[in-house]
Structure 1
Amino acid sequence: MKKYLLIVCCLLFIWQSYGQSRKENFQMILKDDWKMQSAITDPSAGEKVSQDSFKTKRWYNVSVPTTIIAGLLANKVYSFDPFYGQNFKKLNDPRLDHPWWFRRVFELPSSQNGKTVILRLHGINYKANVWLNGVLIADSSQIKGPFRIIQIDVTKHITNGNNTLAIEVLRPFNPDGENGDLAIDYADWIHYPPDYNGGIVNNIEIKTYNKVGVQYPLVTTKFDLPSIHIAHLSVDALVTNYTGKEQDVILEGTIDGKIKFEQKVHLKPNESRNVSFSPADYPQLNITDPKIWWPWQYGKPELNRIKLAILTGNEVSNTIEEDFGIREITSKMIDTASRMFIVNGEPIMLRGAAWSPDIFQRRSEERQEQEVSLVRDMHMNIIRSEGKLEDDHFYDLCDKYGMLVMTGYMCCGTWQHPENWDADKRKVAMASDSSIMYWFRNKACMMTWLNGSDMPPTDSSVERGYLNIEKTLKYPNPILSTANEGKSKVSGYSGVKMAGPYEWVPPIYWETDTTHRYGGMYSFATEISPGPSIPPYESLIKFIPKDSLWYTSADWQYHCGTHDFGTTNVFNTALNSRYGQASTIKNYLAKAQAQNYEAHRAMMEAYGLNKYHTTTGIVQWMLSNPWPGLIWHTYDYYLYPAGTYFGMKKSMEPLHVMYSYRDNEVDVTNSLLQNFTDLTVQADVYNLDGTLKYNHSAQIAVSKDSIAKCFKIPAIDGLSDTYLLRLQLSDKGGSVRSINWYWSAKTMDKLNWQKSTWYITPQSGYADYSALQTMPKTPVNMNFSTIASKDSTIHQVILTNTGKTVAFFVHLRALKGKDGDDILPVIFSDNYISLAPGERRIIKVTYATKDAHGVPPYFITSAWNLDVALSKGGDHTAFENGLPVN
């Protein structure tokens, strides 16, 4: 018996060894187990640092990607929170002006013996000397640029045992200047990290190839539009001969394991060549009734899978697999100022916000998924990234969830001034463009690429160089020269704009800018915002000391932007003038959520109301803050969704009832590819004492992806100085599809258009909402039930106004037990709602079960006029005079 067992074990070992030796595709991402140290602290030469015997006892343990400061923070080098108060200033360290070492020891499995070994560097910021096993394999004249993919053949330097890679990184020089490095830049978003994000900002990999390799698959779709019944697919890939001999190989491809195609390829020594399969030559690439990738809310983001294999003789030399989407994205100008984007033959109104990564370029797959989930919850369909390229996991999430991506180069430093570039910078720029095109071209989520941000490239030869690369590498999506309204000498108008504002403006602004000079509802606004988004108290105390919690404090202003955006003064003046002078920080914050809500809702609603007539898209500047900040975000650094978030979410409901500030009209916007008939629109106007002054309903229909004008609100006698409008949209089955509350006043906001600048149109008069502070109180009862609990927990919270006046701006929170912190992130189906007398609303609350930390949830409500004594169920925040006072 022992004899037979020995034979079986031997056979199993042989089979495992054979399987390992036949492994077709090898990739080692060098993520963990790195060591990092300053070249000042340890002045050892690269020849020594890259030896296996070198001692790193006092070096820091880090994972890659990491910047220098991110690595120091991970090792708790600093005894302070750099985000608290003005502690960020303490990060300045003379060692940051000098090179830093990143060192990693790795071992290749024996199954890779005899193969070509490629070191793949993707994201060195800004340049580096690279050593392997005591040998300098590339110096800083070759390795530079955070967006480049640089591949080095290290076969002759690899040993059978431990291999030691040492990368000496030199941080960027002055990327925010006109003559600095082509590195990561931030402009006026935030204070610059003192290391300028120097370090390794994307993956470092080892890949092996058996003679010939295949990379960068591309599947391009063409439909016979308007029909999408048949998809005509073209397939491309880069094939490389890593030997000094000619090679005859076969490139085999399969799509979803069903559609197969192949081509014989002859390669010269060390040749790289693009290999193409056209649907004309390969009829099997004409697919009937394919799975189609659609953006969020237009349909399912279906993904397909392509596998490519290289056969040399009878052996599989190398394989690669990737997801892709069968979809076709085009664009056209609807006038000289407005570009419309079209997905699978359907025009799409693009509404989203601008992504910002962590200030220290720290990445978390969990955080990325949380943020993309928040974007979807707000009903956005596009994320813009200005020169802050993410990693593959982020783009995989966008592919998976149907989130379109607009990305490109950045303002406002060296990238924006190609007229000053020398030959070396031009080489970096063109190599970056080539890398990015290869990287992005097959991602379903990619909608468009911008060769410039705040202006077209100022050197026409640079733009021509980019366009030539993009054409050669078959980038399949629209390409724009700029994110602004400027005209390129090479490619003409982009059909988009970035004419501001970036500072507070009132809701009426968006519909009354008829000059087509500023931020009103025309064209595609690639970055635009009503300015500050003030976080709630629970977030503020995490980064501003309690004795500095006022909008005039130095700590407060330090957490604004920079340059023209270093205060919240314009927002503060509007708040105090419109809602009454803030008496305490909590009083200020409650008013701030209302002002954030109405401003951001109005912006998105106005662009949706005019879609395809003069508007084609809008991107809120910004989506998130790279650190805890007070301006330009939809949710704060801690993922807390406050007034801005829910104003945004309300405005972009797929089927939405809204009020036009300009026309005093009730309208319905439909963002779905579905017709609706027999809808009921109801409008009710309330005085602040709860008196119903007007009600009207109408039956309407709305076509797919369009707008229905319903009716105007007439002049109403006997209104209080401030009054409330409730709109409701119900479908023919009686289900409520949208509820939307507005507050209005007899004294309205006025704008001084003549004094407009690139970032603001100032106000000459303010609406008077101060009476909201003294509304009669009303009780709100609350109860909840748990309807699901596993990985995700879902609660149903029922709020009922049992009084005789409107409960204004009711805010629901979910805590980790009584007196605990908020459960974050959390998805509320709605929030900051108002309730008519007798109205009952159900709010669904969803969060990852682990984020409650095993503590039963505790729900708490607040409202501007909540009668705590008469409210029942759960907990209700006490207010005085309608608003918190301390």
Structure 2
Amino acid sequence: MKSIITGIFLLLSVCFVQAQTPNYYRSPEKIYLDSKDGHNGGFNWQMYKAGEAKDPAEKISQPGYQTGDWMPAIVPGTVLNSLVHNKVYPEPYYGMNNKLDQNIIPDLAKAGRDFYTYWFRTEFDVPESYKDKIVWLQVDGINYRAEIWVNGYLLGNMSGMFKPDYINITDFARIGGKNALAIKVYPVDMPGTIKPKRWGAVGEFHNGGDGNIGLNTTMLMSVGWDFTFNDGIRDRNTGIWKNISLYATDKAVLRHPFIKSDLAKPGYDLAKETVSVEVVNPTQGNVKCTVKGEIAGENITFSKELNLFRGETQTVSFTPEEFPQLTIKNPRLWWPLFKGNPELYELKLTVTVDGKVSDETKTRFGIREITSDQNTPDKSRQFYVNGKKLFIRGTNWIPEGMLRTSDERTYAELRYTKQSGVNLIRMWGGGIAESDYFFQLCDEMGLLVWQEFWMTGDTKHPQDKDLYLSNVEATVKRLRNHPSLAYYVSSNESTEMPGAKDMIMALDGTRGYQMQSECDGVHDGSPYKQVNPMQHYENTASERGSRVDGFNPEYGAPTIPTVETLREVMDEKDLWPINKEVWDYHDGGGFHLMSTMYTDLTNNYGASSSIEEFATKGQFVGAMNSKSIWEVWNYNKLGYGDRYASGLLFWYHNCPISQVCARMWDYSLEPTASLYHTQNALEPLHAQFDYLKNTVSVCNDYYQAFKNYKVTAEVYDLNSKKVWNKSQVIDIPEDGVVNDVFTIDFPQNITQVHFIKLRLYNEKGKEVANTFYWRSNDKYEGRKTLTGPTSSGFEDLSKLKQVQLKTTYKAYQEADRHFIKAEIKNTSSTIAFFTQLQLLDQNKKPVRPSFYTDNFFSLLPGESQTVIIETATADMPSEPLFVVKGWNVKAATYKCK
């Protein structure tokens, strides 16, 4: 195993400065029928309510059909997306527009399925080069049922949200001419309803309405949940939500390639690869063909001949016993974040008929082994990668609420994810199976994925078992080559469909499986909402008892968005003073307590006179929430602390809608202070402070030990005077923690508000990590209070003197990215608290997404910080503004060229 602790690797791992990766899985051999509206694609899509269409499907699906009164449609997209795009209904994410009892946008359960049943239609040319070939129309995903019509003929029927269809349109395609595609899309069979709030699990409201949404194989959260609109999305995301593509093959077709690795133990220095692929004969005659494979760059090739009867599908396999070249010595192993490089290989497969290539496919894969067991003191689930323990610092992914996604949004969210230091993403069971591009990026970034399959304990189970299992099968076949895919779980807090486990293991077998998210060494979650941050240290944050132990699948707290984002959520009159009804609607029905407890904690920094002041102070609360949670779990990592902790999945990760209860970034992709304070808490080498014990500890997430490192602590009063300091030399174990290195003895006469700066130096005296804290003298008076050094008594922060920071910067461009490299120096004698950098356009609106290597940081007198801001050239305004401001920092604006 290679050493991975170098200064360069640390910088790249944490900051992740690089251009957006192209979509490897978007084949240049295919024609993607993306709409011009919404996607800047090449095709004019239109839509019309099916019940109002006067002509039959045979006519609607003919080229040249007159669509004068049809409206433009967004494809991929949903019915409601297109209706909003055409201004039939207002933006659902703004104000109270989506609220059920406002009756602004009709709800599927009330209006009926016919109301949201629509025709989607476009026309396309079939290239002359497709002549004498098999012509395919691939529809990757609809919701929920669909009829596929081409040139007047019904050629396909689709059901379920997660199963693609490959439609042979050869006999109906007009080569070199105009063709028409019309898709009639029906909503879910059982839309579910919204019931008044009633209690579900301890400390939370019932989700999923009456539960009937679960009778479908779909995105269950579309009916309403406490982390999104609690009364749901009005059309339940009816539509064509994934890509449609056109391509051609010859008489044999390749589908669902799979490569399995068997690693020799204990050295993991030998990998035996088994390759399989389905070969399809779509013709009416017999076909003799040859399947050839290659592992690119490894000088490994293999081939087999086979005969296919008409319409037959065969799975051809290549084993290392039959093909010794499939044994790889000293393979480049794939590792998750901070553990090594996420090495990738490429498998290329072709099938030839009569010496000509009939079809070809390629896929990436990684050589690694991911296992888990319950051989822990408390029988909690413990994960391993390539034979080494992996402490899970994970999170719960929530999809965009109305499926308004793109490669650009996916890239931004996953780049923020890597920057935060998180190493596993749980695909929560009421959501979706994400795109190939999502998994591609996880492969490249070293982010593990835990995949669940659309069943929850809040809803009923799918009524069509075969339909559900076929959707699971299609998903497993699509995702199983991704090294990032770590674990299969049938459901969220429920059970499994009979036959699911056996099928999944037969299709894959290289990953673990458990029935539901709270079993087999994974206990139930909580807390979910705002609590006193002191409770995380005390392990009393959950009403259900101890939760900072074992493996917790859901544990988290909210953060308020920035003021710029808040202004995009609702009218100014509702924003300030806080209109509780509107704020609560954008808080899952008030679930996370943003208008109550979060507001109270914010007011412990002093009452606010404006939404700008309130949002700024709210960032302090959110940063404290995130850092305290992660550092408590760091402390207890793998039994180094008071308890054995094997993993945490933060609840939740990303905002599905515009809301006031953000996390590390908000719906607009604007990072909050929580991103950077999580990034600090999860840095691979980290010094941290315990607000309950007043002790300093050091955590190590590398598979490498470090000797003769020095940790230092300095305490500064409100006047920025150093009043206490201490240091100690320590040895840091591999992937371990040195807890309670020493205790900070705060002077008795210290100011009410004061600051702590921790630093970690390597054996050569070079600083490798630092952490900044603010603290009050307030005593913690128990879990039912909002008191304590993390939580109250911060009014005196307003007494900090204003400072002017010295800023130098350089703007430059590389490829399709723009950069600003800034050095911010505090030349004053006063601490610069919560310094924020912003990249704005000419109208002083944030440029999004932009990637800051750090932000919301504090500088001691004489300290400086270098920050790189990166933005896609396409998102960069012509005259951007670079702003430096902060709690007590005089705002300075610079014009960048």
TM-score interval for Structure 1 and Structure 2 normalised by the shorter chain:
0.7 to 0.9
| Alignment partners' CA distance in 2, 1:54 and 1:374 | 46
Q: How does 1:408-423 map to 2 (within 5 A)?
A: 408-410=452-454, 412=456, 416-418=459-461, 421-422=462-463
Q: Is the 8 A contact 2:587 2:660 kept in 1?
A: yes
Structure 2 length-normalised TM: 0.85
1:363–1:585 distance in 2 versus 1, CA, 3 Å: closer
1:410: Cα distance to partner?
Answer: 3.6
Aligned to 1:426: 465
Q: Which deviations, in whole Å up to 9, do the C-alpha atoms of 1:19-46 show, x marking residues without a partner?
A: xxxxx99644332322222114434221
Q: Is the 8 A contact 2:805 2:828 kept in 1?
A: no
Aligned to 1:757: none
> Which stretch has the larger CA shift, 593-602 or 197-206?
197-206
Determine which structure has more spread, i.e. the larger CA radius of gyration.
1
**AA partner of residue 801 (structure 1):** N
**AA partner of residue 466 (structure 1):** A
Q: How does 1:540-579 map to 2 (within 5 A)?
A: 540-549=566-575, 550-562=577-589, 564-565=591-592, 568-576=595-603, 578-579=604-605
1:287: Cα distance to partner?
Answer: 0.7
Aligned to 1:811: 836
1:849: Cα distance to partner?
Answer: 4.3
Q: Which deviations, in whole Å up to 9, do the C-alpha atoms of 1:817-857 show, x marking residues without a partner?
A: 6x722333233332222233333333333333443312143
1:111–1:644 distance in 2 versus 1, CA, 3 Å: same
SS at structure 2 position matched to 1:253: strand
Q: How does 1:409-808 map to 2 (within 5 A)?
A: 409-410=453-454, 412=456, 416-418=459-461, 421-422=462-463, 425-457=464-496, 462=497, 464-484=498-518, 486=519, 493=520, 495-513=521-539, 517-518=544-545, 520-530=547-557, 532-549=558-575, 550-562=577-589, 564-565=591-592, 568-576=595-603, 578-613=604-639, 614-709=644-739, 710-714=741-745, 716-752=747-783, 762-763=784-785, 765-766=787-788, 767-786=791-810, 788-790=812-814, 791-808=816-833
| Alignment partners' CA distance in 2, 1:746 and 1:25 | 63
Aligned to 1:14: none
Q: Which runs of 5+ in 2 are unaligned?
A: 1-26, 36-42, 193-207
Q: Is the 8 A contact 1:25 1:318 kept in 2?
A: no
Q: Which deviations, in whole Å up to 9, do the C-alpha atoms of 1:511-533 show, x marking residues without a partner?
A: 32289954632223222212x32
| Alignment partners' CA distance in 2, 1:264 and 1:107 | 35
1:406: Cα distance to partner?
Answer: 1.9
1:748–1:223 distance in 2 versus 1, CA, 3 Å: farther
1:413–1:616 distance in 2 versus 1, CA, 3 Å: closer
**Quick one: which of 285, 290, 301 aligns to 1:250?**
290
| Alignment partners' CA distance in 2, 1:796 and 1:98 | 49
Q: Is the 8 A contact 1:689 1:775 kept in 2?
A: no
SS at structure 1 position matched to 2:55: coil
**AA partner of residue 612 (structure 1):** L
State whether structure 2 residue 431 is matched by structure 1 residue 385: no
Q: Is the 8 A contact 1:25 1:320 kept in 2?
A: no
Q: Which deviations, in whole Å up to 9, do the C-alpha atoms of 1:531-568 show, x marking residues without a partner?
A: x3211111111222111113343322221113745753
**Quick one: which of 330, 336, 344 aligns to 2:371?**
330
Aligned to 2:848: 824
Q: How does 1:167-316 map to 2 (within 5 A)?
A: 167-172=183-188, 173-174=190-191, 176=208, 177-180=210-213, 181-186=216-221, 187-191=225-229, 192-256=232-296, 258-316=299-357
| Alignment partners' CA distance in 1, 2:77 and 2:840 | 33
**AA partner of residue 841 (structure 1):** Q
State whether structure 2 residue 156 is matched by structure 1 residue 156: no
1:812: Cα distance to partner?
Answer: 2.8
| Alignment partners' CA distance in 2, 1:583 and 1:519 | 39
| Alignment partners' CA distance in 2, 1:333 and 1:381 | 20
Aligned to 1:352: 394
1:275: Cα distance to partner?
Answer: 2.0
Aligned to 1:83: 93
Q: Is the 8 A contact 1:519 1:525 kept in 2?
A: no
Q: Is the 8 A contact 2:116 2:235 kept in 1?
A: no
Q: Is the 8 A contact 1:295 1:381 kept in 2?
A: yes
SS at structure 1 position matched to 2:536: helix
Q: Is the 8 A contact 1:500 1:518 kept in 2?
A: no
State whether structure 2 residue 141 is matched by structure 1 residue 113: no
Aligned to 2:151: 133
SS at structure 2 position matched to 1:697: strand
SS at structure 1 position matched to 2:491: coil
SS at structure 1 position matched to 2:486: strand
Aligned to 2:202: none
**AA partner of residue 658 (structure 1):** Q
Aligned to 2:71: 60
SS at structure 1 position matched to 2:805: strand
**AA partner of residue 120 (structure 1):** Q
1:807: Cα distance to partner?
Answer: 3.1
Q: Which deviations, in whole Å up to 9, do the C-alpha atoms of 1:757-792 show, x marking residues without a partner?
A: xxxxx5474543234334341524221121643343
| Alignment partners' CA distance in 1, 2:646 and 2:737 | 14
**AA partner of residue 393 (structure 1):** Y
SS at structure 2 position matched to 1:430: helix
Aligned to 2:199: none
Count of residue correspondences = 814
| Alignment partners' CA distance in 2, 1:454 and 1:568 | 29
1:821–1:152 distance in 2 versus 1, CA, 3 Å: closer
**AA partner of residue 178 (structure 1):** G
| Alignment partners' CA distance in 1, 2:726 and 2:179 | 77
| Alignment partners' CA distance in 1, 2:541 and 2:624 | 23
| Alignment partners' CA distance in 2, 1:317 and 1:842 | 54
SS at structure 2 position matched to 1:597: helix
1:803: Cα distance to partner?
Answer: 4.1
SS at structure 1 position matched to 2:98: helix
| Alignment partners' CA distance in 1, 2:709 and 2:54 | 74
Aligned to 1:862: 886
SS at structure 1 position matched to 2:797: helix
1:874: Cα distance to partner?
Answer: 5.4
Q: Is the 8 A contact 1:233 1:279 kept in 2?
A: yes
Structure 1 length-normalised TM: 0.86
| Alignment partners' CA distance in 1, 2:839 and 2:76 | 34
Q: Over aligned residue pairs, what C-alpha RMSD do you find?
A: 2.8
| Alignment partners' CA distance in 2, 1:354 and 1:778 | 40
Aligned to 1:15: none
Q: Is the 8 A contact 1:551 1:557 kept in 2?
A: no
State whether structure 2 residue 869 is matched by structure 1 residue 845: yes
1:474: Cα distance to partner?
Answer: 1.9
**AA partner of residue 151 (structure 2):** N
Aligned to 1:882: none
Q: Which deviations, in whole Å up to 9, do the C-alpha atoms of 1:189-212 show, x marking residues without a partner?
A: 222221110001112233444222
Aligned to 2:195: none
1:856–1:587 distance in 2 versus 1, CA, 3 Å: closer
1:805: Cα distance to partner?
Answer: 4.1
Q: Is the 8 A contact 1:783 1:874 kept in 2?
A: no
Q: Is the 8 A contact 2:687 2:699 kept in 1?
A: yes
State whether structure 2 residue 117 is matched by structure 1 residue 70: no
1:412: Cα distance to partner?
Answer: 4.2
Q: Is the 8 A contact 1:503 1:570 kept in 2?
A: no
Q: Is the 8 A contact 2:270 2:331 kept in 1?
A: yes
